[in-house]
Each structure stands twice: as C-alpha cells, then as structure tokens.
Amino acid sequence: TLSPTWGIYSGYELCENTPLRDGGEEYLDSEKYQLRHRDWETAEREGRTITPLITRLNTIRRENPALRQLRDLHFHHADKEEVIAYSKRRGSNTVLVVANLDPHHTQEATVSLDMPQLGLDWHESVPVRDELTGETYQWGRANYVRLEPGGAHVLVVGRASGSEPPGEHSRVLRPSSPSIGGSPTA
C-alpha cells in the first residue's frame, strides 16, 4: 500500500523463497531461469499461499483513491522500530496503515498520529475500519496496537461500517494539503 503498484515474481504468491545462492537475493525457482508449473490448488488447500491477501489488498487499493497515488504520504510515530505507520490521502479518502515489520515476533506499540495530516484537530477521535478484518475502532492521537508477525491494519479513516462507499463518509475531514515539497492531489 505504500506504493500504488507492485510487481510479484511468479511463485511469490506461494511463498517460494529458496535463494539461488546462500545470502543472495535472487530466487532459485524464479521465472528468470525457468518456466515452471505451479499447483495453485494444492498450495491453497495446504495453506501455502498468500493469494487471498494479495487479492484483498488489490481490492482495497481499487476502492480507495488515496492508495492509487504516490502523493500525500505521511509517516506517523510508532514507539517500536519494528512497527511502521503511515497515512495517504486523496480528497476525503484517508487510509492509515500500521504494519509489523518483524516476520518472527508479535509486536506491541503505541502509534502517535499527526492528526492534522489526517484532516483532524489534535484532540479529535474518529472511527476507523480495518479493511483486512472488517473490525471498527475509535482512534485518536495515541493508539495501542498488537500485531502478529507480518500483521497489519489497513484502516480507512472516518468509516465506521462496510456499507458506505469510500469517500462518502459521514465524517467530513478537512481536505488534504501538500506538504513541503509535495504537490496537490485534487
């Protein structure tokens, strides 16, 4: 979600990650070296695929204009370096992402939001809907998170239920404005 587009090597969806050489970044079964048949159905049955997650992230990106651009990206403070928090805005659509960068350990952190960057006053709180789980939370300036290894929240700000189309929230957020060196999004 940090970038509006991404590329995936064939096999990545099945979590294939055997390196070509020890310490190398290239994969042994990369399509760069061979064409290979992959058994997608067996991988899904055995739980060896992230295809449903990638499909959901693509859907979230399609539904949220803020995720289809590089502009209006703002990082927020998390008190653990293993947790990253950032928001993206386009018009009234604001998405906040909080992710655990640690693939091996659950991380707990307090995320401190720059509320004006979200179109809110410092003292306000707002409903956020996690587009990965459907859960709704009330977030303010400081928020506790507990994320499993590789876990994340993709939160649409100002959206309390799944019935409202993104961008048509009951909560009116101030329009986004460019940061220093940024450019307008509207």
8 Å CB contact between 127 and 158: yes
Structural contact between residues 186 and 177, judged by C-beta atoms closer than 8 angstroms: no
Where are the chain's structural domains? 1-49, 66-157
Rounded (10°) CA dihedral 176, 180, 182, 186: 30
Q: Which helix (H) or strand (E) holds 42?
A: helix 40-45
**Complete edge-to-edge strand list for the sheet that includes strand 107-112:** 136-139, 126-130, 152-157, 93-100, 83-90, 73-78, 107-112, 142-147
- What does DSSP assign to residue 9? -
Q: Which CATH architecture has domain 66-157?
A: Sandwich (2.60)
| Tens-place pLDDT, residues 139-167 | 999 999 999 998 999 999 986 655 444 44
Tell me the whole-structure pTM to 2 decimals: 0.79
Q: What is the pLDDT of residues 7-53, one digit of tens each?
A: 777 777 888 778 888 988 787 777 776 777 888 899 889 988 999 99
